[in-house]
Structure 1
């Protein structure tokens, strides 16, 4: 087994890049971009014909619901995202309780339909995408905690040294293991190609790394909420991405790994994003985990998005979902190519900017696959969601995903 010293010598070459830092996006730029995407998604996916401040009770036959107001969440049984666990009606009262069955156990949760006319409930019914925003904020908060938890786990051993050892182990595995044939071009050689006469290309990749991860992912979630043929299809992707997040968070805590750009200079990597003054505002601050290279969430998200675009293209699917229309050949080709090009572009970006190793993306690929097949694990939290909504006096909004396909 090669020693760290021999390994460093074999890769050592003073990184040279004489490109001047590109224009820097103001600190408020990214938050404004993300806020615009969220507000735009919220408006596009709004429930049309529904008024927040009109709580006048009217009789509309046996259903007793307003036109355009499909039904309360308590009456949804199949087309909602989270109804894969069965719900039974267990009361004949006006506000029916729910009987949740999950994990071989039965839970009785209160109905929230009595809160349907509360203004904050009606706000959610008008803009149901708000609840998706709320859950992604919770996920982001969990990510912010990974740095603190990792520090506590490795409190007796300097975490920086542990992360560096893990990074060197990754490099050694790529170059000297029996799987080394999968990595014919080293990360150092790959980045050097961009620094040697292709600086403009690298500058573009630096901007891609900084601006695509958060704004691009948020934009995708907003688009898929609107474009998905059904809320069930949207929910599979949302749960897959969320579970990918949490599996990655556990790995960040238990296996801190230094990105190539932070390795000592003798390993030949250059922190091109910082050199180009293109750091993302979301990757700054006290609680940012800079030792979270394994797995690559940039590639994990991109791979999940790519698979969704391929699915949405309809290519390879003999049957379509209810109400879904077969796309034209040109549109289907556009989505299919986008599904291939986007994750490929992100893979090039994360390696060329020395933010990730090949193996980081390789592991992220398998994490997404596992998350997809295990995404229904989040359904065990439905009783907790019911009680949370009850405590907040909120009626869960009926999703508008797929409404545009209904006639």
Structure 2
């Protein structure tokens, strides 16, 4: 008994093809809408979230890493810097993530599907964390003495502060998708950018995001660890499906099997044609 057609169909599914823009726009919009709907529908469980925040804070003290309060107060004392961080927190994770998706779509279509799967899987598994471990951010802790920088400086920003707080789940801080998404962006930029200084900026982006989420009292250090674990799951799932990390897949669909991206693999540069020879 042969399974040829079925095997061929599964093989096609697992072979990255050229993405279609209308499908990708629709898929991204529906996925983010679904993520936001489910995230905000998770019961806020205020009492449990505050208890968990106290536990995280005690754990960080025991580990000797509970310096978020000092960072929050220090950054808050420099008005222009903390205001910039407020806007960074509110906007850049959307701008950068969408920007990297567009860049992959246009310049690395053969790697797009695998990278997108890693991102979507990362985001999906984060919902499990929000449901199982409701967590108050540091700025909402009882007696935490953290500064809610959006409220203090009256900046437009976090959906979890000010006039917008009723539109978002206040207690979905673990894991931090600011870290999950920014690390996804940073690693892709580092792996695929042809220019060294762009690679460096790719690594600086998640590092800066980590400083911002702590400075604005929106997350603990351990929330960032949760984001890294979610991304690890997403990358593992993508690897299991495509049998390669995104950067090891061909830049163009239909090119020969997995390979390491070369520094000369620049935007718009096509691989050299194979030398012609006798057939058969």
- 1:237 corresponds, among 110, 115, 126, to 115
- Number of residue pairs matched by the alignment: 242
- 2:97 corresponds, among 217, 230, 238, to 217
| C-alpha distance in 1 between matches for 2:267 and 2:160 | 33
Structure 1 residue 377 displacement after superposition: 6.5
After TM superposition, where is structure 1 displaced by more than 3 Å over at least 4 residues in a row?
A: 87-90, 98-102, 280-287, 376-379, 402-407
Cα distance change of structure 1 residues 142 and 190 upon mapping to structure 2, 3 Å threshold: same
- 2:206 corresponds, among 343, 352, 365, to 343
Q: Does 1:163 align with 2:83?
A: no
- 2:151 corresponds, among 248, 266, 274, to 274
| C-alpha distance in 2 between matches for 1:285 and 1:160 | 14
* Structure having the larger proportion of residues in helix: 2
Cα distance change of structure 1 residues 285 and 89 upon mapping to structure 2, 3 Å threshold: farther
In the alignment, is the contact (CA less than 8 A) between 2:160 and 2:169 conserved in 1? Answer: no
Tell me which residue corresponds to 1:48.
none
Tell me which residue corresponds to 2:140.
262
Unaligned runs of 5+ in 2: 243-251, 255-265, 272-280
| C-alpha distance in 2 between matches for 1:148 and 1:278 | 20
In the alignment, is the contact (CA less than 8 A) between 1:239 and 1:376 conserved in 2? Answer: no
Cα distance change of structure 1 residues 219 and 101 upon mapping to structure 2, 3 Å threshold: closer
Q: Which has the larger radius of gyration?
A: 1
| C-alpha distance in 2 between matches for 1:252 and 1:262 | 16
In the alignment, is the contact (CA less than 8 A) between 1:146 and 1:253 conserved in 2? Answer: no
Tell me which residue corresponds to 2:219.
356
TM score, norm. by length of structure 2? 0.75
Tell me which residue corresponds to 1:374.
237
| C-alpha distance in 2 between matches for 1:213 and 1:161 | 29
| 3-state DSSP of counterpart to 1:340 | helix
Please tell me the root mean square deviation across aligned C-alpha atoms, in Å: 3.2
- 1:226 corresponds, among 65, 84, 106, to 106
